[in-house]
Amino acid sequence: MLDDAILGRLKDDRVLLTGGAGFLGSHLKARLEPHVAALFVPRTATHDLRQESAVKQVFAEFKPTLVIHAAATVGGIGLNREQPATMFDDNMRMSFFLTEQSYLAGVRKFVGLGTICAYPKFTPVPFKEEDLWNGYPEETNAPYGFAKKLLIVQGQAYAQQYGFNAVHLLVVNLYGPGDNFSEKSSHVIPALIRRFSESKKARAKTVVCWGDGTPTREFLYVEDGAEGIIRATELYDSIDPINIGSGFEITMRELAELIAEIVGFDGEIEWDTSKPNGQPRRKLDTSKAETAFGFHAQTDFRTGLKRTIEWYRENESEILKT
């Protein structure tokens, strides 16, 4: 858990937290806000970070000393296949403008949040940071993954030429209360929770899932993720990207069966092999994060899923309106 010594280092900071109204960002905001001098969360309606003029306006108005860039245009395999240009363009623009303006404004540190989608499709498991550039990302999310890789390159270039303190965290897939349960853009855990819950209510006999169920994924409970990011913000100052994850691996088949069990769906699960599997395996080597800033995940996966499903049930009526 975060201690007062770590949080106390932030007491004089004016923190610009992009994506602070989103899933991960809202948890970061709740953790940070009581401990910093000021915290600003830009919203797209007034400060569209894909526009250089809007980013300049944010820095002129708020004058941050610390930037945590958690904003991103994200989605599951379906959205990445349908809108690859949007995934690349939105994320590239935000990253470039925010890094440049952070350097020009003289912020003491820029923390960029990346993605394990940046790793090559056939990375040896567990994924080690030094393997990041040893191949092409999985095709269904390559534009998104490459846009996030540009954030690493830019930060390292600014560090080398200007001495700019930019760090990059490769964050595994997050889940937990407050996740995005949209039918169009949700990731796999919220998508399955919603699908099995609706199927249970409808007394459906089957639920169809994409692929063949063999790919593996790693997931990190969102509150653990927020802790890891805050620890890195104050305790990590290397230009080398670093993994933030749980080190836990589960197949898609096992995941679907576990969610079905907790939800109480007792029908059959069918696998549509005409749909893509995505990357064959994902599991991070998280040893560097534990050594560098003492982070390791605390939340058991089944416990985290139960909390997420409970939150979904409590908010289901509002979720189904979206």
**Cα 76 from Cα 103, distance rounded (Å):** 32
What is the C-alpha radius of gyration for the chain, rounded to an integer number of angstroms?
Answer: 19
C-alpha distances out from residue 231 to 176, 194, 294, Å? 20, 32, 8
Alpha helices in the chain (DSSP H): 4-8, 23-32, 52-62, 77-82, 84-105, 142-162, 188-201, 222-235, 252-263, 287-293, 301-319
**Cα 142 from Cα 147, distance rounded (Å):** 8
Q: How many residues does the chain have?
A: 322
Q: Which two tokens mark 185? A: 């853009």
Sign of CA dihedral 132, 241, 219, 145: negative
Whether the CB-CB separation of 107 and 166 falls below 8 Å is answered with no
Contacts of residue 204, Cβ cutoff 8 Å, sequence gap at least 6 = 267
**Cα 243 from Cα 184, distance rounded (Å):** 28
**Cα 296 from Cα 44, distance rounded (Å):** 33
Which of 103, 144, 158, 175 is the catalytic position? Answer: 144
Q: Is 236 a catalytic residue?
A: no
Q: Which of 218, 226, 212, 191 is nearest to 277 (CA)?
A: 212
Residues known to be catalytic: 144
